[in-house]
Amino acid sequence: MRKNIDVHIKRLPLFLLLIISCLTLSSCFDLVEQIDMNHKGSGTIKATLNLSKSRTKVASLLKMKQFNGIDIPSETSIKQEMGKIVRTLKSTQGISNVQYNLDFNNYIATLSCSFEHIQALNDFSKALSGQFKTPITSYNSYRYNRATKTFTRSYTYSPNLAKEFSKIPNDDKGLFAEAYYTNIIRFDKNIQSQSHKNAKISANKQAVFLKVKATDLINGSTSLTNTITLVK
C-alpha cells in the first residue's frame, strides 16, 4: 500500500458516495447503491459501503496511527466526516430524511435520503462533489421523462482513470481485485425495457440489477449508462 493510493481511490466513480478513509484499509470491499423511484420522479437513494469481508484487517489497522506512511483514521474522525456529509445533504434543496449508520463491529457504513424529483437526485451527487472537491457530476447524471416514463442514467468514462491506475504498483492493484459496485433501481411500475447489456430485470419486472467490478470501471470495459422504460 502506498501513500498515494488514497488519491487514486477517491477518483473512482460512485465510490465517493461513502468516501471514508477506512476504504483504503481493505483489500476487499463492496459498494451497493439502491434507488427506489416512483413513476412521478420522487424516491429514495441508499448507499452501503461494506468492508466486512476484511473486518479483521480493518480492526487491526484502526488501532494504529499510521501504516506505510498513511494516517489511519480513528472512529471519531470517521464519525466527524460522516457528520459533514449529512449536514451538507440536509442543507440541499429537494433532499430530506437523511439518515446514516456506522457499524464499527462489521465495518459497514450506510447513507440514505429521500429526493423530491430527479434534479434533487442529481443535486445529491453535486452536494457530494462539493464536499469532496471531486467532479462526480461531470461523468454521472440522471434524467426522467414523466411523459414517456423513461429513466436515463448517463455515464462518461474518463481515460484518466486507467492512466492514474497504471501508476499504482502491481502489488497495490490487488486492493481492487475483489471490489464491486452494485446498482439496484426499483420502480412502482413494471419495466418494459432496459438498455445495459450486463444489467438484468427482476422477476417481478419492477427492478433493474447491475453488478460490475471496480477494475472494469477503471479500465473502461464497462459503462453505467442505461435507459429504462416503464410500462405506461
Q: How many angstroms separate the CA atoms of 157 and 178, rounded?
A: 21
Residue-wise DSSP of 85-133? HHHHHHTSTTEEEEEEEEETTTTEEEEEEEESSHHHHHHHHHHHHHHHT
Give the C-alpha separation, 96 to 144, whole Å: 20
- Taking only the tens place, the pLDDT of each residue in 66-107 is 655 556 677 787 788 788 888 988 988 999 999 999 898 888
Of all residues in the chain, what percent carry a pLDDT higher than 90?
36
Cell numbers found for residue 37: 423511484
- Who has greater pLDDT, 132 or 19? 132
pLDDT tens for residues 188-215? 999 999 999 999 999 999 999 999 988 8
Global pTM exceeds 0.85: no
Q: What CA–CA distance (Å, rounded) separates 95 from 165? A: 34
The mean pLDDT value for 121-130 works out to 77
114: pLDDT strictly greater than 70: yes
pLDDT of residue 71: 64
Question: What is the distance, to the nearest Å, from the Cα of residue 50 to the centroid of all Cα atoms in its chain?
Answer: 11
When mean pLDDT is compared across 5-14, 24-33, 45-54, 136-145, the lowest value belongs to: 5-14
> How many angstroms separate the CA atoms of 192 and 201, rounded?
9
Whole-number average pLDDT of the chain: 78
* DSSP state at residue 167: T
Query: How many CA atoms within 13 Å lie on the side-chain side of 197?
Result: 3
Looking at per-residue pLDDT, the higher value among 58 and 32 belongs to 32
Whole-angstrom distance, CA of residue 200 vs CA of residue 221: 18
Cell reading at 16: 465517493
Contact 214, 176 (CB under 8 A): yes
- Tens digit of pLDDT for each residue in 131-146? 555 544 457 889 999 9
CA distances from 173 to 21, 47, 177, 205 (A): 17, 24, 7, 37
Q: What is the pLDDT of residue 129?
A: 64
Q: Is 6 left (phi over 0), alpha (psi -120 to 50) or beta?
A: alpha
Q: Do 193 and 229 form a contact (C-beta atoms < 8 A)?
A: yes
